[in-house]
Amino acid sequence: AAQLFCTSANMSRRYDSRTTIFSPEGRLYQVEYAMEAISNAGAAMGVLAKDGVVLVAEKKITSKLLDTKAVGVRREKMYKLDDHIACAVAGITADANILINICRLAAQQYHLAYQDPIPVEQLVQSVCDTKQGYTQFGGQRPFGVSLLYAGWDEHYGFQLYQSDPSGNYGGWKAAAIGAGHAAANNVLKTEYKEDITLAEAIPLLVKVLSKAMDTSLSADKMEIATMTKDASGKVVHRIFDSAEMQPFIDAANAEKAATGAAAP
């Protein structure tokens, strides 16, 4: 992969080994390599709807031998950061665990100081500031994780953010990370419409995921989570179980078969 970034063969190798220095062309190779690692990882995507946010992800660890009752393996992609914020991760799982813990800490520290839930963007900013530190000093490699954050706060309502190893982040109406994210983003660009509802967004995302994955969808290979408000106005984070996912999976698989959409 290093060859792809070289202007002349192997020149870039001299600027690879330390994370905290620029190449002559002004690039941070370690950050770029981190993003390369993520584009080989399980896909995750999200859509911001009028009445909530939906996150969908592809699981890569799907062995029959997995003890799915064990806490550590039950969730691979979807995590709750606070009562009103959740995330989906793509990349190196061990790195992701560290960042998720940092996010949860930041959320509770804010709550301890202000007795209020942390605004979603502030949480994203704070973990991104940490990620940026690893690209500038300390000589440690960046985190090989991109995250999609879904949350609600009283300032801006439902929100969807994406962050990457550079420590950059953006607010999105729809976003995809991990394997096939470029193609997924293209599909989302054409299919997303303003005022989309959650009921429309979930099947859309499952369809996009099925296009991004090589194999056909099944409940043990994916996760779906939503961020909504219940009747009393309380923010609810729900991770779908297999039974809840099945109707969406069936619909997406049927559509794939019907259109004869076989990836070459």
Partner 1 sequence: MDYLMGVKGPDFVMICSDSAASHSIISIKKDEDKLIPIDSNKLFGVAGEAGDRVNFSEYIIANVKLYALRNNTELSTKAVANFTRGELAKALRKAPYHCHLLLGGYDKSTGPSLYWMDYLGTLTKLNTGGTGYGSMFVLSLFDKLWHPNLTEAEGLDMMKQGIAEVKRRLVTAPSNYIIKIIDANGIRIVKNWDQDV
Q: Considering only residues 70, 112, 243, 262, which one is a binding residue for partner 1 as defined by CB under 8 A? A: 112
Q: Among all chains, which residue has been given the structure tokens 């078969």? A: 257
Q: Identify which range of 57-65, 113-121, 187-195, 239-247 contacts partner 1 by CB under 8 A.
A: 113-121
CB closer to partner 1 out of 117 and 178: 117
Q: Does 233 bind partner 1 (CB under 8 A)?
A: no
Residues paired with residue 54 on neighbouring β-strands, in sequence order: 47, 226
When the beta carbons of 84 and 221 are compared against partner 1, the nearer one is 84
The least CB distance from residue 109 to partner 1, in Å, is 10
If the CB atoms of residues 117 and 180 are measured against partner 1, the closer one turns out to be 117
Pick between residue 110 and residue 192 the one whose CB is nearest to partner 1. 110
115 near partner 1, rule: CB under 8 A: yes
Stretch 118-157: interaction string toward partner 1, x if CB under 8 A = -x-xx-------------------------------xx--
Transcribe the chain into DSSP letters: -HHHH-SSTTGGGGGTS-TTS--TTS--HHHHHHHHHHTTSPPEEEEEETTEEEEEEE-S---TT--TTSHHHH-SSEEEEETTEEEEEEE-HHHHHHHHHHHHHHHHHHHHHHSSPPPHHHHHHHHHHHHHHHHHSSSPPPP-EEEEEEEEETTTEEEEEEE-TTS-EEE-SEEEESTTHHHHHHHHHHH--TT--HHHHHHHHHHHHHHHSSSPP-GGGEEEEEEEE-TTS-EEEEE--HHHHHHHHHHHHHHHHHTT----
Among 68, 69, 71, 114, binds partner 1 (CB under 8 A): 114
Contact status: 116 vs partner 1 (CB under 8 A)? yes
Least Å distance between CB 233 and partner 1?
13
| Min CB(127)–partner 1 separation in Å | 15
To the nearest whole angstrom, how small is the minimum distance from the Cβ of residue 124 to partner 1? 12
**Phi, psi (rounded to 5 degrees) for 69:** -90, -15
Of 110 and 134, the one with the shorter C-beta distance to partner 1 is 110
Q: Which residues bind partner 1 (CB under 8 A)?
A: 112-116, 119, 121-122, 154-155
